[in-house]
Chain A
Amino acid sequence: AQSVTQPDIHITVSEGASLELRCNYSYGATPYLFWYVQSPGQGLQLLLKYFSGDTLVQGIKGFEAEFKRSQSSFNLRKPSVHWSDAAEYFCAVGRSGGGADGLTFGKGTHLIIQP
């Protein structure tokens, strides 16, 4: 069975500082990996995804993520956070490179931005 672990429930970062959100997955085949962001009162928005090729993927809003097969990880990074990045971030694993059928999400990491 596939699963996703996000070890950090909350993370606090100062505005302008760098950010790394951790994600570990368990999947029996080649994983399709996603990062979504959820702001209060908003739906989930796709930040980036990975399913093959370059293990460093670029996304929207200045985010990037690196796939490390040996560590079963897909950590999300941003070099300099803005106050508007405060939100809930979800890592997910799926069986295809698009759509949303059968995605397994982690529990999320709540990002707090300090001024």
Chain B
Amino acid sequence: DTGVSQDPRHKITKRGQNVTFRCDPISEHNRLYWYRQTLGQGPEFLTYFQNEAQLEKSRLLSDRFSAERPKGSFSTLEIQRTEQGDSAMYLCASSLVAETEAFFGQGTRLTVV
């Protein structure tokens, strides 16, 4: 399977704990995007990378959130001191370059208890 891969698929954590998600984009895709989708809502843009450079962060990305793409390949999204409001599906997508179709992964479902 050469699609966008996200790990883990599901994560249950206690409030206050830190969690980290991983996204492996399609090989050679330069752009990588993170979105969050809560129940009954459409995806909301969080941030995106061009190679290893983080080019934009939405205001939804609070100080507790950090995303990295250290070698321009896989990316990680870390949430510190999780809150119940962080419960959501976290989606990753990648595209070859700016103007080409983005392909989404299946997402990581986070539940904060």
Closest B residue by C-beta to A42: B106
- Known contacts A42-B106, A96-B99, A99-B98; decide if A90 and B42 are in contact (CB<8 Å): yes
A108 within 8 A of B: yes
Residues of A near B40 (CB, < 8 A) are 107-108
Is the beta-carbon distance between A97 and B41 smaller than 8 angstroms?
A: no
Is the beta-carbon distance between B42 and A98 smaller than 8 angstroms?
A: no
Binary CB contact string for chain A from 86 to 108 against chain B (1 if under 8 A, 0 otherwise): 00001010001111111111111
Is the beta-carbon distance between A104 and B4 smaller than 8 angstroms?
A: no
Is the beta-carbon distance between B31 and A99 smaller than 8 angstroms?
A: yes
Count: A-B pairs, CB below 8 Å: 76
Is the beta-carbon distance between A44 and B104 smaller than 8 angstroms?
A: yes
Nearest Cβ on chain B to A101's Cβ, whole angstroms: 5
In the assembled complex, the Cα of A106 lies from the Cα of B33 at a distance in Å of 18
Residues of B near A90 (CB, < 8 A) are 42-43
Interface residues of B in 4-51 (CB under 8 A from A): 4, 31, 33, 35, 40-45, 48
**New A-B pairs, 4, CB < 8 Å, besides A106-B42, A108-B42:** A46-B101, A92-B42, A98-B99, A100-B48
